Chains A and B, each alone.
Chain A
Amino acid sequence: MDAKERLAIPPQPMPEQSPHERIGNQREVPQGYGPEAAMKEACRCVRCKRPFCTEGCPVGIDIPGFLEAVEKGDFALGIRIIKRRNVLPAVCGRVCPQEAQCQLGCTVGKFHHDPTKSVGIGKIERFLADWERATGKVEMPTKAAPTGRKIAVVGSGPAGLTVAGDMIVLGHSVTVFEALHKPGGVLVYGIPEFRLPKEIVSREAENLKALGVEFRLSTVVGRTYPMEEVLEDFDAVFIGSGAGLPKFMGVPGENLLGVFSANEYLTRANLMRAFDFPANDTPIFRGRKVITVGGGNVAMDCARTALRMGAGRSLIVYRRSETELPARIEEVHHAKEEGVEFHLLQAPLELIGDERGWVSGMKIEKMGLGEPDSSGRRRPIPIKGSEFVEETDSVLVAIGNSPNPLIPSSYPAVETNRWGGIVANEATGQTSVRGVFAGGDIVLGAATVILAMGQGRIAARAMHAYLLTGRWDDLEQAVSAQGGMQ
């Protein structure tokens, strides 16, 4: 097949539950490719000499390599190629912002002058991971001979799971500490079932267990187990404790009843499975007209969860315009299809309560767009005299998270920045304390699953070099001396 023929193949659609049907259940929205669709989509890749896709991937997956394997129908090879760089393909195929990463530079998308027509790399990645899981024969990487070294991983989110997966394969003994009662971090408490079935996350954790990773759940490092003791008991530590401290707007009325952080609302729904109350004990407030504040993936998750909890109307209030929405295009698209109303260029000024202390309205100011600010996005500017009140019975605050303070506050030896994040060397993940590495949202602030995994991978590689050489001050050189790690 030549490039011209490849370019003529239209993007393969992925079957989805209809919007009307899916807001009545928790099941996943896109239902995945079958083998034919995956192979056909893989044929759309024109095999560029310079793979911009791989360059755009934070963990550097050989994307043309696995696409070629899929095109030939060799799915086992395809998933093997992905797993050289990514221990969580079923997760990443679903939640990575591909349009801003691998699919951004895709030649096919550029040829069509339409990034949504890039090769569906994420969809094919998901297909391969699901295919492998369905065969029931998940291929396990070969473990190196035991090194006799023990490492601790604090937090079982995407960064921690990546470190655990890499280090166990390298022959180290790995113990993962998780504060909650299930492994997965944000993958289980934050991302909803309809976007990432929890079954997939628990299978990924099971795979790591099968490789020998020990999980210690409901164990809060910094409380149950002080960092000082962790350091005595292990040869190296990776901190991936995440950005689990919700930000609030700081407007009057924020502590009224019916006002929830996105974390609280989503944790109730996802981790505690409040959508199945009272069969599960944890309740969730089922608002009739729910306003979510924010424009990121978490805001979309909140607004869409609210619909599934029976809201008649679910509104997004965001202070910038649609172009600046930080959410994945697909999430915005799905939210719109399901009937989420986007109230753009609007900012909350105040929450108004009724006589019983429940939120009853949001005073909102309209915004215009000015010059770009430090984030490169056009700065929202309030329009004087534009205030109005939107009635509501619940408000979900999804404007971001700060690094979780538990470890930094209980372990002052580790250097933090002014936002409370742990300072870590970008090339190695090293913190200010010898033997302690960090990565993911505790370093980045609230970012993405794949960036956290990318940092986990970098830290694992450096940690491995540290354990073998004992070098710390010039660890970066020790890592490069060791060469690439698969």
Chain B
Amino acid sequence: MHQILSRETIGPDVCRYVVEAPEIARRRKPGQFVIVRICEGGERIPLTIADADPQAGTITLIVQTVGKSTLQMSRMGPGDLLADVAGPLGRPTHIGNFGTVVCVAGGIGAAPLFPIVQALHLAGSRIVTLLCARNADLLIMEEDLKAVSDELIVMTDDGSRGIRGLSTDGIRMLVDRGLAIDHVFAIGPPVMMKFVCKLTGELGIPTTVSLNPIMIDGTGMCGGCRVTVGDATKFACVDGPEFDGLQVDFDELIRRLGAYKDREKEALEHFRSDCRLGQ
């Protein structure tokens, strides 16, 4: 059992949790994730580790409410217990001084991107962060990312904050500005990563993405998280979650993410009606 120490709403349907998990806090590295099971009968959901405090023995999870489990979690608070938190899983990010790095965060993607930016920054890379969201309300972790970036540019699709435009517009803008980009890290909705990679592929810029497909065990056992990378099938849980974005078959990833859409809706409705009954 893992106690939730704090919960804070940081955006519409987005919460930041600090959870007691001393062993994970001590060993996690940027790019890794945990599998959380909220309660008995709960599903196993992969959540990226946004931050950790090894001294305090805590990890930070930033979770967007998208289905039954995340909704249930959003109703939990300090003192509540998560049944299981297993991890840290996945291969850590390869960190180094990559020269000039553009880090693209799309919406909730800012959470998994933050520890990577932090580590790249420490390793001496020069970092320009593009913090992108559909609108101003959906921007998260701006201050955290600003502190570890050489430059942070805020962009929204509707122009409600920062520069109006998509993440790809941001990359083009930087290139037009004469920035010689050595590497791009992009984490966000699969559609965003797809178009970022399409552009960086054309520009010939190596690009790393972090994928969050459907998975159960997170240890290589189920194969539910398989993705096509180049000519090969890879398991995101043990071979990833980070991959060469220029090689990822995003259309397949997007299709596979929708595999249980109807069932997920059903579970959510079931949970909501149960909650009403309980009131």
Cβ A406 vs Cβ B264 within 8 A: no
Question: Closest CB of chain B to A245's CB: distance in Å?
Answer: 5
Cβ B252 vs Cβ A406 within 8 A: no
Closest chain A residue to B27 by CB distance? A224
Cβ A246 vs Cβ B259 within 8 A: no
A219 in complex: contacting residue of B86, B220, B260, CB < 8 Å: B86
Cβ B83 vs Cβ A264 within 8 A: no
Interface size on B, residues (CB 8 A): 43
Question: Closest CB of chain A to B218's CB: distance in Å?
Answer: 8
Give the distance in Å from the alpha carbon of A88 to the alpha carbon of B225 in the complex. 33
Cβ A181 vs Cβ B266 within 8 A: no
* Chain A 271-287 per-residue mask, 1 if CB under 8 angstroms from chain B, else 0: 11100011111110100
- Chain B residues positioned under 8 Å from A260 (CB to CB): 223-224
Closest chain A residue to B215 by CB distance? A264
- Chain B residues positioned under 8 Å from A254 (CB to CB): 233
Give the distance in Å from the alpha carbon of A268 to the alpha carbon of B216 in the complex. 8
- Chain A residues positioned under 8 Å from B263 (CB to CB): 277-278, 283
Cβ A281 vs Cβ B27 within 8 A: no
Closest chain B residue to A244 by CB distance? B221
Give the distance in Å from the alpha carbon of A248 to the alpha carbon of B219 in the complex. 17
| Interface: B13 (CB within 8 A) | no
Closest chain B residue to A245 by CB distance? B220
Closest chain A residue to B251 by CB distance? A357
| Interface: A180 (CB within 8 A) | yes
Give the distance in Å from the alpha carbon of A411 to the alpha carbon of B277 in the complex. 51
* Chain A 395-410 per-residue mask, 1 if CB under 8 angstroms from chain B, else 0: 0000000001110010
Question: Closest CB of chain B to A437's CB: distance in Å?
Answer: 21
Give the distance in Å from the alpha carbon of A268 to the alpha carbon of B23 in the complex. 28
- Chain A residues positioned under 8 Å from B41 (CB to CB): 273, 279-281
| Interface: A223 (CB within 8 A) | yes
- Chain A residues positioned under 8 Å from B271 (CB to CB): 278
Give the distance in Å from the alpha carbon of A257 to the alpha carbon of B43 in the complex. 20
> A220 with B86: in contact, given A189-B221, A283-B264, A406-B238 (CB under 8 Å)?
yes
Give the distance in Å from the alpha carbon of A246 to the alpha carbon of B226 in the complex. 11
| Interface-central residue, B37, B219, B220, B221, by most chain A CB under 10 Å | B221
| Interface: B173 (CB within 8 A) | no
Cβ B87 vs Cβ A263 within 8 A: no
| Interface: B53 (CB within 8 A) | no
| Interface: A179 (CB within 8 A) | yes
- Chain A residues positioned under 8 Å from B131 (CB to CB): none
| Interface: A225 (CB within 8 A) | yes
Cβ B221 vs Cβ A267 within 8 A: yes
- Chain A residues positioned under 8 Å from B24 (CB to CB): 224
Give residues 215-239 of A contacting B (CB, 8 Å): 217-220, 223-226
Question: Closest CB of chain A to B237's CB: distance in Å?
Answer: 10
Give the distance in Å from the alpha carbon of A459 to the alpha carbon of B40 in the complex. 34
- Chain A residues positioned under 8 Å from B79 (CB to CB): none
Cβ B86 vs Cβ A179 within 8 A: yes
Give the distance in Å from the alpha carbon of A322 to the alpha carbon of B189 in the complex. 48
- Chain B residues positioned under 8 Å from A116 (CB to CB): none
Cβ A181 vs Cβ B220 within 8 A: no
Closest chain A residue to B268 by CB distance? A278
Give the distance in Å from the alpha carbon of A400 to the alpha carbon of B24 in the complex. 32
Cβ A404 vs Cβ B221 within 8 A: yes
Question: Closest CB of chain B to A156's CB: distance in Å?
Answer: 13
> A278 with B216: in contact, given A218-B85, A244-B221 (CB under 8 Å)?
no
| Interface: B66 (CB within 8 A) | no
- Chain A residues positioned under 8 Å from B259 (CB to CB): 257-258, 285
| Interface: A261 (CB within 8 A) | yes
> A255 with B86: in contact, given A280-B41, A282-B216 (CB under 8 Å)?
no
Give the distance in Å from the alpha carbon of A268 to the alpha carbon of B221 in the complex. 12
> A246 with B221: in contact, given A255-B252, A255-B256 (CB under 8 Å)?
yes
Can you list 17 A-B pairs, Cβ within 8 angstroms, ordered by A? A181-B83, A181-B84, A217-B84, A218-B84, A220-B219, A223-B89, A245-B220, A246-B223, A254-B233, A257-B256, A258-B259, A267-B216, A267-B221, A267-B222, A273-B41, A281-B41, A282-B216
The residues of A with any CB-CB pair to B shorter than 8 Å are: 179-181, 189, 217-220, 223-226, 244-246, 248, 254-255, 257-258, 260-261, 263-264, 267-268, 271-273, 277-283, 285, 356-357, 404-406, 409
**For the complex of A and B, 10 pairs with smallest distance between CB atoms:** A283-B263, A244-B221, A281-B43, A261-B223, A264-B222, A218-B86, A278-B270, A357-B255, A218-B84, A282-B43
